[in-house]
Structure 1
Amino acid sequence: MRIAQIAPLYESVPPFAYGATERVVSYLTEELVARGHDVTLYASADSTTAARLVPICPRGLWRDAQVWDTQTHHLRQLARVIRDADYFDVVHFHGEPLHFAWAERLPCRTLTTLHGRLLPHDHGPLFREFARVPVVSISASQRQPVPWANWQGTVHHGLPLDEFAFQPMAGPYLLFLGRMMPEKRPDLAIEIARRSGLPLKIAAKVHPGERDYFRERIDPLLRRSTAFTEYLGEVGGLARRQLIANARALLLPIEWDEPFGMVMIEAMACGTPVIAFRRGAVPELLEDGVSGLIVDNVDEAIQAVGRVVDIERGACRREFERRFTAARMTDDYLTIYDTLLARDTSGQPQATGSQPTTVGSLAGAPLAR
């Protein structure tokens, strides 16, 4: 099958550290290539892949100090995909829905995985306007605000089996990992750790739009709690994997309807239990008492810290292997690809175009035809 994977350009594929969507795109792309499919990845030039890479910008946009308007780069990416579309059987989009207006005009099947939170007032009119565009949710919780979209299924994210090593022994610290934003409540993680009497490690990226929040709300808390809280900044690679594996528990005191929460399944893969608030996809992903503990407030979270020693770390790993592998995720997507291709294709051209050219892509050179 000829498949295009269209990644957001904010981070490389895979990302250095933060970037759940780009990480998922990488896992899916590499698994598809390993299974013998002809895969082309449209992403930033600093991406690493076994697929054919069509680079759109020199590096992830969030790591390029000269970039101000990220939409201009995503529009160029879309133009490249449109020009190459007759080569593919399926084009799989993972970014913002800029392509919706063109999706039904492309000479191939399209699929869009929506990775963010969906809002009825914003996304509702979009999905009604483009009611035939096939979309996939990453959790049942994510699709609840807009049940009328053209849902093709729900595909939970997955990780390669060997991406995170199982750690049978719990470490001494609690962990907050992700993005430094108000909805994820790093301040509550600090309070939970302080009142539990356990050290806390915080590894979190501060985006430009959240610098004021960090400076005004979080940095003062960190300065007052240096005895038990260690702020590590953004952490990637082996250090990130070890940080998750050696934690006693991952804290996820979210106060928004998070559509998935990649870090939860990363923790499960390591055998690290998760203590999470009952919001968004948390009850869908965590098996309470098996892979973590689901709570409703700070007081319950503090009690859960005392009970987390009763969670068997081996059970966390087995839950990951049963539900959240990259192989299972790829199986699910291939089933949807096949379903899309099996539908009536009268008047729909078959993939006949030339192979997309990667040389000169950054300069906007025309693709070979």
Structure 2
Amino acid sequence: MRIAQVAPPFETVPPAGYGGTERVVSVLTEELVRRGHDVTLFASGDSRTKANLVPIVPRALWRQDPPTNDFAAHRASLFGKLLQHLDDFDVVHSHLDYHGLGLAGLCQAPFVATLHGRLDIPNLLATYRAFAELPLVSISNAQRRPLANANWIATVHHGIDLCSFDFSDTPGDYLAFLGRISPDKGLDVAIRVARRAGRRLIIAARPPLAFADDPEARCDRAYYEETIKPLLREPGIELIGEVAGPQKSALLRGALGLLFPIRWPEPFGLVMPEALACGTPVVAFGEGSVPEVISHGVTGFVCDLEEEMGAAVGRLPDIDRRRCRLEAEQRFSPSAMA
């Protein structure tokens, strides 16, 4: 089958650091190539793939100097390049969220969109309703709630490259946090929980990018400067920057547990199955997809309150790390996703 995979241009595919959507697109693309499909990947020109690569932009937008967050300026270029290749595909698979919905009207081939972002933003609901007939794939059942009547054809949980994550049954004594530094991700909660539990916390994250014209980026930057920076001075709290590849695997497999105290209905937190693949249980708030990914008391603990999270840290040694790895292999492999 001739398949077009259309990725966002913000990060490379796969990303050098943070970039959950791009990482998932990479895993899916390479699995489809492995199965013998003829796959074309529309992504940034510095992406790495065994598929046919059609560059949307020469270099990922967040890797430019200075980085840019303006996708609108590049949308026309993307649509133009797709138009040049429309007759080449049996199916077009968009990973652009609402940005990609307009592509459907240009495509002669069947079109499907996997939505990776949150859907509870009021000013986006009308946009999605305008494309009510388009076939959509959700990445968790929880993601569907704001658009329950959309044309959902499947829920497909993210898959990960299991070979990139080494299992360990003998972790260290620290806790880990991986993700954006944002109020939504709850890093301040993770720091307080680790301090109260008497555990070191290693934070793998980059400071928020300074996009002055992006309200969300400004909010993240203020949170970092005003809330997180003072907490980083606490003993046992270490910020090491972004990690990827072997560094990420080493950090996760050496952790007693992963803290995932999100404050928003995250459609899918990719770091959860990545941790499970290393045998590392997850302690998380029960927002978004968390209850679909983590089995309470089996592969981690799903909590409602910060105090419960602190108590759960004390129970992490009771979790069977081999069961965590097995869960990742059975539910979050590339073959399960593809």
TM-score, length-normalised on structure 2? Answer: 0.94
What are the residue-to-residue correspondences of 1:179-328 with 2, within 5 Å?
Answer: 179-208=180-209, 209=217, 210-223=220-233, 225=234, 227-328=235-336
Find out whether 1:178 has 2:179 as its counterpart: yes
Cα RMSD, aligned residues only: 1.3
Structure 1 residue 167: deviation in Å?
1.0
Find out whether 1:29 has 2:29 as its counterpart: yes
Q: Is the 2:95–2:114 Cα contact (8 Å) retained in structure 1? A: yes
Tell me what 1:93 maps to.
Answer: 94
Structure 1 residue 211: deviation in Å?
2.2
Query: Is the deviation greater in 203-212 or in 154-163?
Result: 203-212
The answer for unaligned runs of 5 or more in structure 1 is 331-369
Structure 1 residue 120: deviation in Å?
6.0
Report the Cα distance in structure 2 between the residues aligned to 1:90 and 1:61, rounded to whole angstroms.
26
TM-score, length-normalised on structure 1? Answer: 0.86
Deviations 1:318-343 (A, max 9, x none): 1111111111100xxxxxxxxxxxxx
Structure 1 residue 99: deviation in Å?
3.0
- Shift of the 280–48 alpha-carbon distance from structure 1 to 2, 3 Å rule, reads same
What are the residue-to-residue correspondences of 1:116-155 with 2, within 5 Å?
Answer: 116-119=117-120, 121-155=122-156
Structure 1 residue 311: deviation in Å?
0.2
Tell me what 1:166 maps to.
Answer: 167
Structure 1 residue 57: deviation in Å?
1.6
Structure 1 residue 109: deviation in Å?
0.8
Deviations 1:60-111 (A, max 9, x none): 1111124543321233112211221111011100013223234134111111
Deviations 1:146-178 (A, max 9, x none): 111111110001113312111111211000101
Report the Cα distance in structure 1 between the residues aligned to 2:128 and 2:241, rounded to whole angstroms.
38
Displaced runs of 4 or more, over 3 A: none
Tell me what 2:214 maps to.
Answer: none
Report the Cα distance in structure 2 between the residues aligned to 1:272 and 1:78, rounded to whole angstroms.
42
Residue identity matched to 1:265? P
Residue identity matched to 2:327? E
Query: Is the deviation greater in 19-28 or in 78-87?
Result: 78-87
Query: Is the deviation greater in 116-125 or in 38-47?
Result: 116-125
Report the Cα distance in structure 1 between the residues aligned to 2:103 and 2:60, rounded to whole angstroms.
25
Tell me what 1:58 maps to.
Answer: 58
Report the Cα distance in structure 2 between the residues aligned to 1:136 and 1:240, rounded to whole angstroms.
28
Report the Cα distance in structure 1 between the residues aligned to 2:195 and 2:283, rounded to whole angstroms.
15
Residue identity matched to 1:109? P
Task: Determine what percentage of the aligned residue pairs are the same residue.
Answer: 50
Residue identity matched to 2:199? L
- Identify which of structures 1 and 2 has the higher relative contact order when contacts are C-alpha pairs closer than 8 Å and 6+ apart: 1
- Shift of the 82–218 alpha-carbon distance from structure 1 to 2, 3 Å rule, reads same
Residue identity matched to 1:231? L
